Structure 1
């Protein structure tokens, strides 16, 4: 097997190096369930800097840390997401992946299907190529290569034999499958006037697995909750990180927590989710909370104003900010008194400020918290949490961020 590091379930990690006199955040926090997780990383009410909150914790992995158990990777939800992913593949490839041991496939974050190369899996703590027996091997020559016909057959299944119906989404370079899985497209692109017109040939598929991890965002609450009426509420928060760092998984659970509430820590609120790519709700496949209304496959620049007009949200959740009109839409929501929780691709505060569209978003001052994620040593590792301070500067609530 190419890796022996696949036994740990996906979970956000808070590991600590405490400063003298500082109380540590939970070491290697898993994902405590509501009702018993709020106290794991913070004090009453979950207010940053309050009793029990970490004031100088380095957010990275802690070997041997003890904490409440994380989400069960063997849960029916984990099995269902793997089964739905396999349904989108050519039968021969799906059969090969069905032979992958459960303790391995439960940890799969990404599946790469590229003509001329073996099927490759990215796990929470490793990687490997899939041989004919479903074993992970480190050398591509030890596993059968995917054929162009198998890639084409996968596309047929993913598009229900109607490529035309998904052309608009495909122009953005991806497809969204039932179950919320995102498929990145690789191949020959036809460009006209600087715009992707269509894919001439698709030679590779990069499948990002979607799965619910209920409770995974609970350890963040002590850093994100602020006092409000009629009860504590999330501060407007931006989750940043490189691709595959766990942003969407955490965002999905924050939406659920904001909607359902956490007794003694977070009051349940009316939540609107603008799910442009159909990955957050996945057509109702994922639980986003009892007070949540969802706009699916709606561009953010249209969906955010629509949600404000029609859905009376107290909290608005959306994924992957960075479009030319996103900053104005987010500012409109915040100025309407709505909390915004969102994600953006940026590895650090410096990266955030270096991207023109994100710099415009940052300049609005809309976000009061910033959570910096990494996938090392595993997806969902919280590298740093920041609060907006005087003059709009970000002040670290945890140490170690690459600001």
Structure 2
């Protein structure tokens, strides 16, 4: 009974929010869409690998063509200050699935094919939470949270898995298929890099078509544009940015195929679609890496280019189109957002670091004040509060006003020593609050 009451309260809050959104919009009554909040909306979360802040047209790239993602941004929300969970693969994915900073799960390092660790069964994933509300769940693509049987997706709330269990530059390179309650099987022990995006897209479209009659959560995690790059014949040599541009344009095509499948199933008004990246571009790969645009540095660092990533969201009929959200947000926020929209209970036995983004998505204003913390492995290297970012380096603390200096070129620490002291104190207090943490997994 208490769980039912909580879900009813969540639903009532969201209905009130939606009503306020549409009543406050300008225009005649005929211009205003009807309030239509599905009881259990579908969620499609598309994650690129090593995509940079400056790689999409809707983030000012003038060379690579991304019409489907640009349309998503026009039809929904484009986040300007959205952050990955870490500057590298494994911890960022852990942050998304658990809604927690990776240091809480111990998944702070990149896992490899010889790793013995992975996502513990003590962690609760968003897939498991959505299963309590009757969702069909699938993970398609890169997993990278442990390749051994106890750590694979079908052991952590996903009904179905198809993909490579780690990065596409790791060996043995295999595609696994697994279903809940069954053992994983190898379906391809020599997959071609050029086929991965197409194969994942076909699996995603099939899942949508097969589950059109019930709520579903699709986690589509592409291996691209992580090196080695691969694009199918239909896209190879077609962009103005070499093989990297070919790969991004095929990813955009993939998004278009997923959106078309949702439309074909009659689910556009019942499906929330998110596209983002696990971290910034791998700049040391030169032409095989992406662009951080105006941001400093890239993958592997907690400078903005390593952790600030594109994020566009669409939910036709519910999210007002053409929004640009400048409030700092992070990948772990999708856990409580999806759970709340689904009417599911959030775990009460652990700390969640993400917050519900519904007010931003629905155009209802801002989130409660908070700070965002940026770890590199187990090291807390930066904290952002409002427009200010404190970067803690071996040579001292640096302070940047990101609204005026998103490229982190002008250190303001000498001008605002009290603010530096305050943010440093807040960072230290957060570390104390974390308490005893699990041993880093490798």
**Higher-strand-fraction structure:** 1
| TM-score above 0.5, yes or no | no
TM-score calculated relative to the size of structure 2: 0.26
**Higher-helix-fraction structure:** 2
TM-score calculated relative to the size of structure 1: 0.28
